[in-house]
A and B are shown apart, each in its own frame.
Chain A
């Protein structure tokens, strides 16, 4: 397989970004200059830049030019940590916006996931996580309503679920977390400032208590331009 020319240039620019040859936030070298220095035509440069933009390494800003993006956030998928702690540890100012909450019947799908009867109540929460005021993660959570009766009285922009678990002596013991790449539709694109039809990460988590009872299901959409994942396999 012959590597396309634009991919070689793309890889070279990624290497330079990762090795500090470009400063984050600085203007990207103009297309014309890149074409001269790589000795290719501008169409090839444009293809390389397009891939860099889709991957989030550079950001185009209408009328202002193309900039080197902030480094992506390293999300360790092999450790269990609350979103807010994770941001705080990285020095990112974390904010949560509770967008929508609703008590409803579990129904077939959530009854199955949470291992409760279909007609039992669940509480569904839609939250947007912001880091340094940029929307980064959209989370949909379902918990059995009985777990935290009266949960509708808490402001979930201020209290984390973790706070409420502690308050109600609920101990998380383990969690199964799955990551895949999915296409974003209108609702998540709008909230995460992405284009409809763009691809991003979907993380699904089922949290269990000490007795192996599922107590929480969360589906999160993550802006793939802002994150990468890491793990240590043993």
Chain B
């Protein structure tokens, strides 16, 4: 007894969530110092400690050095069923978008990338690697590979400002319409952590996607590293979908 979901500790965690919600603390708000919080909730500091630990583990709150406990800033929760370009999708949600372009060039397809794009090794591919920001926070490092014959000259665009998909649509008549994605867990390397302005060895989603156009032609392979503390995925599922 004592360790499961219905243990006293977990009930205090539930009380903490209720406290946050009832008192109107929203994303980014600072909670009272732990001693004061324990008093307000009528529990001992030791008991509260577990609840805090659980809330941090479950990403309800973030502990910031020298600041205290903060309600987790708004997470970027991506719809796993609807295919929208990064810029279109997040701008629609009211986020400010920014990109740092790390690589924007044409190169020879490697033996790893070529089969994914259904082209031959050493065929030309356009490679675009960007750090993607939402509201000034770097969240995603994304690399896109596109068969170069679909988009000759595309490397001349400034992708810190332009959207890749809009450029494909407007200038090359290539229309991305759906994407098969996989998500797995990885950990940030030092250079990745530096780009994402966080600590290395932190967990991240490793997302890989194959993008198709309206002719079911593969037009893109993309791979990205998404900070786990700022990114999550959701889907609305209907029973009818399975029937």
0/1 interface trace, chain B 193-206, chain A, CB 8 Å (1 if under): 01100000001110
- Interface size bracket, B side: 35 or more
Contact B81 A187 (CB under 8 A): no
Closest to B204 in A: A181
Q: Does A174 contact B (CB under 8 A)?
A: yes
In the complex where A78-B235, A78-B237, A79-B237 touch, is A233 in contact with B82 (Cβ < 8 A)?
Answer: yes
Interface class of chain B by DSSP? mixed
Q: How many A-B residue pairs have CB under 8 A?
A: 165
Cβ-neighbour of B14 out of A107, A172, A224 (below 8 A): A107
Tell me which residues from 40 to 65 in chain B have a Cβ below 8 Å from any Cβ of chain A: 53-54, 56-59
Contact A231 B191 (CB under 8 A): no
Closest to A184 in B: B57
Contact B235 A231 (CB under 8 A): yes
- Distance of A100 Cα from B191 Cα, bound (Å): 45
In the complex where A55-B185, A102-B6, A185-B53 touch, is A178 in contact with B236 (Cβ < 8 A)?
Answer: no
Q: Does A228 contact B (CB under 8 A)?
A: yes
- Interface size bracket, A side: 35 or more
- Distance of A173 Cα from B5 Cα, bound (Å): 27
Contact A224 B6 (CB under 8 A): no
Contact B3 A224 (CB under 8 A): no
Contact B189 A108 (CB under 8 A): no
Smallest Cβ distance from A102 to chain B, in angstroms? 5
A residues within 8 A CB of B177?
Answer: 234
B residues within 8 A CB of A167?
Answer: none
Smallest Cβ distance from B42 to chain A, in angstroms? 15
In the complex where A174-B237, A202-B58, A229-B233 touch, is A51 in contact with B18 (Cβ < 8 A)?
Answer: no
In the complex where A104-B6, A230-B180 touch, is A177 in contact with B235 (Cβ < 8 A)?
Answer: yes
A residues within 8 A CB of B178?
Answer: 232-234
A residues within 8 A CB of B183?
Answer: 77, 179, 228-231
B residues within 8 A CB of A64?
Answer: none
- Distance of A124 Cα from B189 Cα, bound (Å): 40
Tell me which residues from 220 to 243 in chain B have a Cβ below 8 Å from any Cβ of chain A: 228, 231-239, 241-242
Contact A200 B185 (CB under 8 A): yes
Cβ-neighbour of B191 out of A3, A173, A229 (below 8 A): A3
Q: Which residues of A contact B (CB under 8 A)?
A: 1-4, 6-7, 15, 51, 54-56, 72, 74, 77-81, 99-100, 102, 104, 107-110, 112, 124, 126, 140, 171-187, 190, 199-202, 224, 228-234
Top-10 shortest CB links A-B:
A233-B83, A181-B228, A108-B18, A80-B237, A231-B80, A180-B232, A228-B184, A224-B185, A183-B57, A199-B203
26 A-B contacts, Cβ less than 8 Å apart? A1-B191, A3-B191, A4-B190, A4-B191, A74-B182, A77-B80, A78-B80, A80-B239, A100-B6, A109-B21, A126-B5, A171-B239, A172-B239, A173-B238, A173-B239, A174-B236, A176-B235, A185-B54, A186-B3, A187-B7, A201-B185, A224-B184, A228-B184, A229-B183, A231-B81, A231-B180
Given A171-B239, A199-B203, A233-B80, 12 other A-B contacts at CB below 8 A?
A3-B191, A6-B189, A7-B189, A56-B185, A77-B80, A109-B14, A180-B228, A228-B182, A229-B80, A231-B80, A233-B79, A233-B178
